[in-house]
Amino acid sequence: MAVEIELKAWVDDPESVKKRIPQGAKYLGSFEKADQYWNIPPEYGVGTNFPSGIRVRNELKTVKEPVRRSFVCFKIKERRDGIEVNDEREFEVSDSGLFTELLERLALVRAQAKTKTGWAWEYEGITIELAFVAGLGCFVELEILSPAGDDGAVEAGRKRLLALLAVLGIAEDKIERRYYTEMLQK
């Protein structure tokens, strides 16, 4: 099992960041991600194993041909010095409409939505996304997978993400410590 180590930082000049993507990076294509978040209603007064809710994502990725896919995700989120360390579980569904109907029938409520568009690359095991988040602005997201329960690997991954952030010309003070869902609530 692995955890994702991720950071996101504000981007003032997306074209400058694109030019600084390392030479050996593999272009993964453009993307559009439409996310809906679902929660157990608070009036039920029950605990949940989904503290961040359940995310249903409809995604369009294009490298040569457009590919549409839908995913369901739930995770346990943790923040460590501005870096997210998430135990994430994700699986593909063939029909997101039917899945959201199931969530509604189970009495979950739609909490919020988020839309991201942008481009992705992979560089030395790190996923780089340059993303425009509707209602917020432009961000770079860097993500690496690390063995679960290995704090040394998490710290090493954190250092790799910060080093790549510097290569991209983005100062550490541009790191956004809040989750997008928190930012969109305000």
Rounded distance between C-alpha atoms, residue 80 and residue 78, angstroms = 7
Tokens at 140, concatenated:
């770079």
Spell out the residues 6+ positions from residue 168 whose beta carbon is closer than 8 angstroms to its own. Answer: 17, 20, 21, 128, 140
| Closest residue by Cα to residue 116 from 34, 173, 54 | 34
Summarize pLDDT for 109-142 with one digit per residue, the tens: 998 999 999 999 999 999 999 999 999 999 999 9
Residues 146-162, mean pLDDT to the nearest whole number: 85
In this prediction, residue 2 has a pLDDT band, given cuts at 50, 70 and 90, of: confident
Backbone angles phi, psi at 141, to 5 degrees: -120, 130
- At 38-88, the pLDDT tens digits run 988 877 765 555 667 899 999 999 998 999 999 999 888 888 877 888 888
Pairing of strands 79-80, 83-93: antiparallel
Q: Can you tell me the distance from the alpha carbon of 147 to that of 162, in angstroms, rounded to the nearest whole number? A: 19
Query: Is the overall model pTM greater than 0.75, yes or no?
Result: yes
Q: Which domains does the chain have, with CATH numbers?
A: 2-185 (2.40.320.10)
User: 50-59 b/e with 16+ CB inside 10 Å = b?
Assistant: bebbbbbbbb
